[in-house]
Amino acid sequence: MSLDFDFFYNWAYRNLNLNLDAYKETQLQRRIGTVMKNAGATDLQEYAKLISNDEKIKRDFLNYITINVTEFFRNKEIFEEFENVLKEILVPRFKTINIWSAACSIGAEPYSLAIIMDKNKIPIKNKILATDIDEPILQKARQGVYKENEIKNISKDNLKNYFTLNEKEYAVDEKIKNMVTFKKHDLILDNYEKGFNAIVCRNVTIYFKNETRDLIYRKFQESLVPGGIFFTGATESIYNPKEYGLKKLSTFIYEKI
Ligand SMILES: C[S@@+](CC[C@H](N)C(=O)[O-])C[C@H]1O[C@@H](n2cnc3c(N)ncnc32)[C@H](O)[C@@H]1O
């Protein structure tokens, strides 16, 4: 079956403000084919109509293509490395720290950062900025309530100090919630704020085409102050950091030159 992806990409751009052109083609088109069939449509024109008329089908589509998988302290050892960079490099250099957690999903990443900041008594300049393209996922993030599988990397001490257990769900304490601001932001289409001492953007650029990823890295570089740190995901090591005005500190941590 051949599907008219040109039509669908144009339609998604006009109607959902989504630039699907920026995502890796084969992977994305396979996912769209699957979610279209699940919705009971046989071609993309029919699927577009279903998305326009049915909120649940629209939600399923957005969920399926944005991929929200996350957990607290994802890749624990790498997070510890970032914590050391914060304490040993960023705090002596900047005193107060302004952090952006981009593509933050349900909030596990920015709340992990807030816990690190609180535990180490690192002063934050502004609240941690946490952004994602997906508004419903941001609503869940603002609630700050998590299931067992999402908190598995949290140490006993952190769990005791920063969460309250209510009927098998773990709620992040208000103190930590108050350290984070959630905002809708599209890494492809929106402008980037500036003046960050650290930007954490993990496990999203792998879904983008190389040109899109390059542009995003350049914009992150511009958003960092000189000497600021960029922290990527465990499969997103940057092969040629100099091209983006970055210097490698370790496989997943880079400094703005
Ligand atoms: C796999 S999750 C990564 C979450 C977290 N950073 C982590 O590493 O655990 C990818 C997130 O990227 C978001 N995303 C996808 N496309 C985006 C875009 N164009 N702009 C901003 N966020 C996007 C998705 O909504 C999803 O929440």
Whether the CB of 150 sits within 6 Å of ligand 1: no
Q: What is the dihedral of CA 152, 156, 158, 160, to 10 degrees?
A: 120
Tens-digit pLDDT profile for residues 63-74: 888 888 899 999
Tens-digit pLDDT profile for residues 91-104: 999 999 999 999 99
**Model confidence band, residue 150 (pLDDT cutoffs 50, 70, 90):** confident
Assess if CATH 3.40.50.150 describes domain 76-256: yes
Dist. CA 137 → ligand 1 center (Å): 10
Amino acid 63: pLDDT: 87
- What's the average model confidence in pLDDT over 142-153? 91
- Beta strands 145-146 and 169-172 are antiparallel
- What's the average model confidence in pLDDT over 157-177? 95
**Model confidence band, residue 149 (pLDDT cutoffs 50, 70, 90):** confident
**Model confidence band, residue 112 (pLDDT cutoffs 50, 70, 90):** very high
**Model confidence band, residue 1 (pLDDT cutoffs 50, 70, 90):** low
Enumerate the domain spans of the chain.
5-66, 76-256
Dist. CA 45 → ligand 1 center (Å): 27
- Which residue has a Cα nearest atom 17 of ligand 1? 133
Q: What's the whole-number average pLDDT of the chain?
A: 95
DSSP string, 7-33: HHHHHHHHHH---GGGB-HHHHHHHHH
Q: Check whether 79 has a pLDDT greater than 70.
A: yes
Q: Are 238 and 254 in contact (CB under 8 A)?
A: yes
pTM, full prediction: 0.94
Dist. CA 188 → ligand 1 center (Å): 12
Q: Check whether 229 has a pLDDT greater than 80.
A: yes
Dist. CA 9 → ligand 1 center (Å): 19
Amino acid 73: pLDDT: 94
